[in-house]
Amino acid sequence: MTEPPEEVHRVTTLELFFDLVFVFAVTQLTGVLVKELNPLGLLQVVLMFGVLWWMYGGYAWLTNMTAPTTPVRRLLILVGMGGFFMVALATPTAFKGGGVVWGLGYLILVLAHVVLYAQGNRHILRVVPANLLAAALIITAGLLDHGAAVYVLWTLALVVPIVQPYIVPPGGRFVIRAVHIVERHGLLVMITLGESIIAIGVGVEGLDLDAGLVTACLLGLALAAVVWWSYFGRDDARAEESLAAAGDADRAQMTMFGYFYAHIPVIVGVIVAAAGMKKAVGHAWEHLDPAPALALSGGVAVYLAGDVLFRRIVRIGPSRIRLAAAAAALAVTPLGLWIAAVELAALIAVLATALAVEHRAGNRSRRPQPATT
């Protein structure tokens, strides 16, 4: 007896609209990092992104299971978007007086999500207390406004929802639709890469558009392009095939660890690199300070490390070439302390070389072997 074919539905335009609001929040995080390019600023960005990413993942799984095709579902998604928008607006001041608005926006996100999810899987109610507690912790941190306790509360808001499902399993059966989950996260990576393009435009605002500046902008675009190629050259299609071939339980595990956990460094790496790129393009023929130079190369290295982890989890590796490229990307950081444009060019060369070597190795492995007697 054959298995019935998997129900397929593509990413809807409403989900893309939702992702645009999410990426606006990501853009705000980049702005925070540009203004405070130091360990404390990075900690703030990691905490905010981690909390947001947890709920974004919740909405991605939700729409994978229940397509937003009815008026009520669409309205609830729009309500969730409103919560994300409040969060985005409050992000620049989340640790400086805007934490209450951030927390209230997150609370709206949680409530819209649970009402939507409960329509298809009421077992989600078992993990709702952790999400509500996270919102309460952030609101409390906003009321405190400053001090070490604020960071403790934010850390708890990040950790509690992630840990709770392992203590109190949500129950129920999660059937992941491979086509939708791969397309949804691929489009998110694409939109996030668009932030690096925006960073180029913002970085050159008000500067004279001479040959040197145009060259620097093209270098920035080329770096974004090779990052795009590394993700979308073939890996998205291969990941879809791998997920589709897996059983339901295995596919859910691959989705959780590949598209939730492994995509954290993928997205954060692009955000951090975009912050460095904004500085690098605007001062392309000058030396960079250590922080933006490290953000540029380190962001690319973190992205590659996340990509390596992702490829291993969804079984589309091997990834040794990309792991070596991550180390090489980090190693070119000192070039930015000399001339920013040289660091940009070196990162392009590292990624392009890795992709070329990987392509050649793939062709060699697929070449027919001579018959043996």
pLDDT tens track for 212-244:
888 989 999 999 999 999 999 888 889 989 998
The whole-number average pLDDT for the span 344-364 is: 89
344 neighbors 213 (Cβ within 8 angstroms): no
Q: What b/e string do you get for 185-205 counting C-beta neighbours within 10 Å, with b at 16 or more?
A: bbebbebbbbbbbebbebbbe
Q: How far apart are the first and last CA of the chain?
A: 41
Amino acid (one-letter) located at 358: E
Per-residue pLDDT reduced to its tens digit, 71-129: 988 999 999 999 999 999 999 999 988 899 999 999 999 999 888 877 766 666 667 78
Q: Which two tokens stand for residue 224?
A: 């974004």
The whole-number average pLDDT for the span 67-74 is: 87
pLDDT of residue 12: 87
299 neighbors 343 (Cβ within 8 angstroms): no
The whole-number average pLDDT for the span 54-80 is: 87
Looking at per-residue pLDDT, the higher value among 295 and 65 belongs to 295
Cα–Cα distance for residue pair 195/182, rounded to 1 Å? 20
252, 258, 263, 264 alpha-carbon torsion, rounded to 10°: 80
Per-residue pLDDT reduced to its tens digit, 288-347: 999 899 999 999 999 999 999 999 999 987 789 999 999 999 999 999 999 999 999 999
Amino acid (one-letter) located at 95: F
E strand map for the chain: none
Per-residue pLDDT reduced to its tens digit, 154-200: 999 999 888 876 776 655 556 788 888 898 898 889 888 887 788 78
* Residue among 112, 152, 150, 151 at smallest CA distance from 131: 112
* Residue among 261, 200, 191 at smallest CA distance from 231: 191
188 neighbors 23 (Cβ within 8 angstroms): yes
* Residue among 175, 271, 279 at smallest CA distance from 220: 279
In terms of phi and psi (left: phi > 0; alpha: psi -120 to 50; beta: otherwise), the region of 3 is beta
The number of beta carbons lying within 10 Å of the beta carbon of residue 92 is 14
Cα–Cα distance for residue pair 226/228, rounded to 1 Å? 5
pLDDT of residue 174: 65
pLDDT of residue 75: 93
Q: H/E element holding 287?
A: none
Grade residue 4 by pLDDT with cuts at 50, 70 and 90.
very low
Alpha helices, H only, 12-70: 13-35, 39-65
Longest dimension (CA), the chain: 78
Q: Which residues contact 310 (CB under 8 A, 6 or more apart)?
A: 239, 258, 259, 262, 263, 266
The mean of the pLDDT values for the chain is 85
The number of beta carbons lying within 10 Å of the beta carbon of residue 234 is 14
Domain residue limits, the chain? 13-167, 178-362
